Chain A
């Protein structure tokens, strides 16, 4: 059993636990490399099926390549696909810095969608190695009614025993990819032949390492034009994955505030 097999098996276990213990669960699909791997792992867990809705909370500011990808594969993979729109920017907290405000829009959209469909839980493809507050996440992460994260008092989680008993009104985020790293995602994408949006590959010396909204996501300098080259690059790079995501860098606590409020 190699490292990818181990990661995969753990993710499958998480998927199966959540599907068994929680009713009314859906998966968030951000169209990026991580959530595509997440869909793959769900199909592994359920032997070819994705037995819950797959939802894209759309800011309508993604790259055209991302929309093309979505429309093609929602169909080709036979997903029970749901698209929900985010509310206008004006409905968000105006004390936030601009990029964070844009991210807060997505949080709002997420809350509305959860309410509309009555989802008790969502699968989200975040990883611990992406960002320091995500590094403190639980696999089953309970949220308040308004989506808030009580990061100062998280439940204990050990021996693959997740928190599966909740008072009514709790919402749960389930994180099947929490233990993966960026390199693992690419190694697995390569091994499993998972389709990928070409924005991740170098064009004119630039590529995207992380895909978000057009206006607040920047490419990094890179010559990596295929997956093996990306893996090589990641082995030596000292640039962090989310360096191109403006909202992380506006102030020391910008991301913590976003996440406490329900951002992914």
Chain B
């Protein structure tokens, strides 16, 4: 056999030694404002068009009876050319002295927002186009808003079709002022705002003669002035598990490092299973002459690691170092954009995909719908296609995740409805606790000692079973008042009963806890455990805590078991605020108290409480009668 192949020479040529930087730029803006035209012109004026392409575009334009359409470079589909509109996002490569670029042309029509997001999400920076003639339009703002939401921080603006505006500086100034103010309101400062004519080539590559009043850079110069993204190697480690391979004797955990570094010997923890082990090896396969097995790796690399212990981990978990582990929670707040054909409503379930994790989630609440044109918000309980909203999502199990501001890659997700990705969002843990500590058992080698007295024997002696009456409701709803009055009534009837009240336990048992979300969760966890001990001792414990989070109450329910009765002490915010026995609402309104339940922090009402006591419409005595009847029916033996 003749040698059918050639191998490359072994010495490194300059081309590999000096790889050029690549930056991805997305072109966005309202429909027909000239995005694709600008890309076509940019290619022509930088001499990047392949041979014959100019002539081909000419022929394609002539065939359709239009003047030369630069947009046909990118608009490759027949339907796009025939209708003069971009349907789907497209990519093309070009280079300047500075670096190489991938230019991503996005569609501007509202109907194709999913394709715009597909393009924009891949970019490092953006150029937003506004038609000088039409001015700032709906999608000009929505695109700006979405870029910011997705974390794209470098944005330049081109005010296009200046030829149609008579190259008039006043028209440009008016648009610049208007759009700059909008960007400012969403926290964006554009790098440059450039007057251009894409069709005529003004300020694209060559400075415009017709607009000598403009002193700033051309579009190409503005692109070159973007700075390359900073690597996330300095942040704590995030390595989502993508798969576990067992092709040979090695058990390899595969995944891509989203941030930080990992080294052989590191003790790492997998969340949310909270299993821990040491990195034994970082596996590799290479044919590069002289390549050696790595002992460390960092953000960006897809790796395969082995561990020193055979622990069971699976796809969807996040590996990190122990003291910088991700948040564990089953509830979180998110800002989302919705692409689904069906509106999103409270109570609907979706599949969440976050990194490599998949989980069922339900929409617990829709806090507000944000109008991206003036940032006003409405409390409508339904998110329509293409809208942006703030929502709270709840999962049926514990998830490992991060806030988007801290860790973009593990702080964002998509929602799948039936077979389709129907929306995307970024996470904020504001007001919600990291539940890691509450679910982590620190001790090992613990076995329960067995009692010789049965629950039945205790109930027989006391005349009633032990249990937990868990009161939940807003501050001022009447929990403490009711609890103390009920304690008295039940005591008089011969019950062993005791109230665990918020302020009281904070003096002793929980004196070391603050009011941060994590400490509030811990406060409730301890109360739940103590109440469960009362129950087992045969006593009735009445707890009077706002306990606004479902997850916290669920844990208390788990601790207490069958004897747990959730009692919703119901009164709306307005009623409670008018009572305001401790003057707390007034302080919350003035901002003196932060994160106040009902005002500036969420209250998650029980989904199916055992009993609802409506203190807004029922007198105290009637409430008490109802409670006593309930307790006698449920606990007396």
Counting CB contacts under 8 A, is A144 at the interface?
no
- Structural contact, B10 and A193, CB atoms closer than 8 A: yes
Binds A, one of B82-90, B202-210, B461-469, B629-637: B82-90
Question: Which parts of B37-90 form the interface with A (CB within 8 Å)?
Answer: 49-53, 59-60, 63, 74, 76-79, 87-90
- Structural contact, B254 and A154, CB atoms closer than 8 A: no
- Structural contact, A3 and B77, CB atoms closer than 8 A: no
Tell me the complex Cα distance, A133–B90, Å. 8
Binds B, one of A40-48, A93-101, A106-114, A115-123: A40-48
- Structural contact, B90 and A135, CB atoms closer than 8 A: yes
- Structural contact, A51 and B416, CB atoms closer than 8 A: no
- Structural contact, A151 and B301, CB atoms closer than 8 A: no
Tell me the complex Cα distance, A79–B60, Å. 45
CB within 8 Å: A-B pair count: 203
Contact of B7 (CB < 8 Å), options: A44, A193, A238:
A193
Question: Contacts of A43 on B, CB cut-off 8 Å?
Answer: 285
- Structural contact, B8 and A190, CB atoms closer than 8 A: yes
Question: Contacts of B409 on A, CB cut-off 8 Å?
Answer: 159
Tell me the complex Cα distance, A133–B80, Å. 11
Question: Contacts of A6 on B, CB cut-off 8 Å?
Answer: 22, 300
Tell me the complex Cα distance, A135–B103, Å. 11
Interface size counted on chain B using CB atoms at 8 A: 82
Residue ID in chain B nearest A129 by CB atoms: B93
- Structural contact, A196 and B6, CB atoms closer than 8 A: yes
Binds B, one of A15-23, A54-62, A84-92: A15-23
Q: How far is the CB of B623 from chain A (nearest CB, A)?
A: 49
Tell me the complex Cα distance, A154–B117, Å. 12
Counting CB contacts under 8 A, is A2 at the interface?
yes
Q: How far is the CB of B570 from chain A (nearest CB, A)?
A: 40
Q: How far is the CB of B228 from chain A (nearest CB, A)?
A: 11
Q: Mark B228-264, 1 if CB is under 8 A from A, else 0.
A: 0001000000000011010110101010100000000
Question: Contacts of B59 on A, CB cut-off 8 Å?
Answer: 252
- Structural contact, B76 and A132, CB atoms closer than 8 A: yes
Question: Contacts of B300 on A, CB cut-off 8 Å?
Answer: 1, 5-6, 9
Question: Which parts of A242-264 form the interface with B (CB within 8 Å)?
Answer: 243, 252-253, 256
Q: Provide a sorted-by-A list of 27 A–B residue pairs whose CB atoms are within 8 angstroms.
A: A3-B22, A4-B16, A5-B300, A9-B256, A13-B242, A19-B243, A46-B247, A47-B247, A72-B4, A72-B5, A129-B91, A154-B118, A156-B118, A156-B339, A159-B409, A159-B412, A165-B420, A167-B419, A190-B16, A195-B5, A195-B7, A227-B8, A228-B9, A228-B14, A231-B13, A238-B50, A253-B78
A residues sitting closer than 8 Å to B (CB atoms) are 1-6, 8-9, 12-13, 16-17, 19-20, 40, 43-49, 51, 65, 68-69, 72-73, 128-129, 132-133, 135-136, 138, 151-152, 154-159, 161, 163, 165-167, 179, 181, 187, 189-198, 201, 226-228, 231-232, 238-240, 243, 252-253, 256
B residues sitting closer than 8 Å to A (CB atoms) are 1-2, 4-10, 12-16, 19-22, 49-53, 59-60, 63, 74, 76-79, 87-93, 102, 114-115, 117-118, 120-122, 231, 242-243, 245, 247-248, 250, 252, 254, 256, 283-289, 298-302, 304, 315, 339, 351, 353, 409, 412, 414, 416, 418-421, 424
